[in-house]
Amino acid sequence: MKFNRRAFIGTAAATAGTLAAPTFARADGHGKPRVVVVGGGAGGATAARYIAKDSNGEIDVTLIEPTRAYYTCFFSNLYLGGFREIDSLGHSYGTLASTGINVVHDWATGVDRDAKTVTTAGGYTIPYDRLILSPGIDFVDGAVAGWDVSAQNAMPHAYKAGSQTELLKSQIEAMPAGGTYAMVAPPNPFRCPPGPYERISMVAHLLKEINPTAKILIADPKENFSKQGLFEEGWNKHYAGMIERVGPDFGGADVEVDPAAMTLSIDGDVNNVDVCNVIPAMKAGKIADIAGITEGNWAPVNAADLSSKMDENIHVLGDACAQGDMPKSGFSANSQAKVCANAVRGALTGSTVFPARFANTCWSLIDTNDGVKVGATYEATDEKIAKVDGFISETGESSDVRQATYEESVGWYDGITADMFG
């Protein structure tokens, strides 16, 4: 072969793959079964941890996650409100790695379902017997006229926590006296149904302290939203006259933004705004699409084990899956992960598989010690994950009940992050 530059680059790439192979050699039937988990968030970290912990070394678990520290979206609104420090939201993968999980900090970029391998941006090809995808969400292109991810510095979404959340807070803190914070709320279904409205509460709390004549404007494409009565009661009580929500009847679904001019047009009316928090329509994280297991925006799964309806060797957890009645939340993803881990372990080692039971609670903080919640339990039916029964805070509750609800949420945060990261 003539050794020109192009051939050399090709050889170098091939060598990277060859060098990588021994690290991730296939079990070939007689070795340990291999589980690869893509995404180290609420669903993926929990699934990896439970499979590794409960299989006592019988299963090789690899977790692929690009970031070295995962910042929880849960409680990121409380950071905006001044109730948490950003560092308290960050969690590393060190404990998971020290318990035998092979943590690979890389992006999964391809899935070969016939060969049962995952390829990564770093050039690895990693074989699996079962693949678990929990990549969270991406945004639907063109969902908000005038906005795409290249505008996320001017108009942040802050719907993936970390630098976006810090950016949004710094923009709110820099607003001129009496300025306007605007939010473009997303259409259903989306990550964390109460999330935008808890955010409004926390932004109002911050502005009331540092910029009390500021205004909050919400353009919302939905008629109704989660815990609406509770939020509206709280907004009237704590932030009277500060918040205006424009629903679909008044053009809330007909919006356009101009990130250069800092304007938000609602039904043709142009508003000059100082901060514009654009939360676009969502879809499953891109790797689900690449794997070819999505239908529309989400990946349909079987309720009993979260297996893909298109490939029994792939499971999809959390926000990315279409499973039925559970809201897209960290609590839900964690609950689904434990059911999936139990089923995958059973399929690969013959261990006992218990009937699938799921639970979710979503807490929201409206103001200091004013916490509310909504939750439910669920079961697996042939058709979907189906709601069994539910509960919700009531309007007019005493301040003691609201404080206890908030304190419960703090305990939940500590519990779920320990359950995810060890």
- Dig out the tokens for 84 from the structure: 């948490």
Tell whether omega for the bond before 327 is within 30 degrees of 0, i.e. cis: no
Closest CB to ligand FAD among residues 254, 311: 311
Q: How far apart are CA 63 and CA 61, in angstroms?
A: 7
Q: Which ranges of 99-220 does DSSP label H, i.e. alpha helix?
A: 163-173, 195-210
- 186 is a contact residue toward ligand FAD (CB under 6 A): no
Token look-up 């353009």 returns 219
- Dig out the tokens for 215 from the structure: 């205004």
Contacts of 389 (CB under 8 A, 6+ apart): 376, 377
- Dig out the tokens for 116 from the structure: 């049962």
Q: How far apart are CA 147 and CA 149, in angstroms?
A: 7
Contacts of 347 (CB under 8 A, 6+ apart): 130, 305, 353
- 306 is a contact residue toward ligand FAD (CB under 6 A): no
- 107 is a contact residue toward ligand FAD (CB under 6 A): yes
- 162 is a contact residue toward ligand FAD (CB under 6 A): no
- Dig out the tokens for 393 from the structure: 């805070």
Length of the chain: 422
Question: What does the per-residue mask of binding to ligand FAD show for 200-219, with x meaning CB under 6 A?
Answer: --------------------
Task: Candidates 34-42, 143-151, 235-243, 299-307: pick the segment binding ligand FAD (CB under 6 A).
Answer: 34-42
- 42 is a contact residue toward ligand FAD (CB under 6 A): yes
- 41 is a contact residue toward ligand FAD (CB under 6 A): yes
Query: Residue 208, CB half-sphere, CA atoms under 13 Å: how many?
Result: 19
CB of 115 to ligand FAD, least distance (A): 18
- 250 is a contact residue toward ligand FAD (CB under 6 A): no
Closest CB to ligand FAD among residues 271, 344: 344
- Residue 224 one-letter amino acid: N
Closest CB to ligand FAD among residues 120, 342: 120
Question: Considering only residues 93, 139, 331, 358, which one is a binding residue for ligand FAD as defined by CB under 6 A?
Answer: 331
Question: Cβ distance 199 to 77 under 8 Å?
Answer: yes
- 38 is a contact residue toward ligand FAD (CB under 6 A): yes
- 277 is a contact residue toward ligand FAD (CB under 6 A): no
CB of 272 to ligand FAD, least distance (A): 26
- Residue 345 one-letter amino acid: R
Closest CB to ligand FAD among residues 331, 406: 331
- 93 is a contact residue toward ligand FAD (CB under 6 A): no
Q: How far apart are CA 206 and CA 209, in angstroms?
A: 5
To the nearest 10 degrees (0 to 180), the angle between helices 42-54 and 399-421 is: 60
Question: Considering only residues 33, 39, 234, 422, which one is a binding residue for ligand FAD as defined by CB under 6 A?
Answer: 39
Question: Considering only residues 79, 124, 128, 159, which one is a binding residue for ligand FAD as defined by CB under 6 A?
Answer: 159
Question: Cβ distance 297 to 140 under 8 Å?
Answer: yes
Question: Cβ distance 398 to 60 under 8 Å?
Answer: no
Closest CB to ligand FAD among residues 105, 238: 105
Task: Candidates 40-48, 139-147, 301-309, 389-397: pick the segment binding ligand FAD (CB under 6 A).
Answer: 40-48
- 136 is a contact residue toward ligand FAD (CB under 6 A): yes
- 164 is a contact residue toward ligand FAD (CB under 6 A): no
CB of 214 to ligand FAD, least distance (A): 20
How far lies 89's CA from each of 30, 33, 163, 169, 206, in Å?
Answer: 42, 34, 12, 15, 19
Task: Candidates 17-25, 91-99, 132-140, 306-314: pick the segment binding ligand FAD (CB under 6 A).
Answer: 132-140
Q: Measured at CB, which residue is nearest to ligand FAD?
A: 41
- 73 is a contact residue toward ligand FAD (CB under 6 A): yes
Neighbours of 141 (CB within 10 A): 10
Contacts of 236 (CB under 8 A, 6+ apart): none
Question: What does the per-residue mask of binding to ligand FAD show for 353-372, with x meaning CB under 6 A?
Answer: ---------xx---------
Question: Cβ distance 317 to 131 under 8 Å?
Answer: no
Task: Candidates 20-28, 245-253, 312-320, 392-400: pick the segment binding ligand FAD (CB under 6 A).
Answer: 312-320
**Which residues lie near ligand FAD (CB under 6 A)?**
38-44, 64-67, 70, 73-74, 76-77, 107-108, 134-136, 159, 191-192, 195, 199, 285, 287, 317-320, 328-331, 333, 362-363
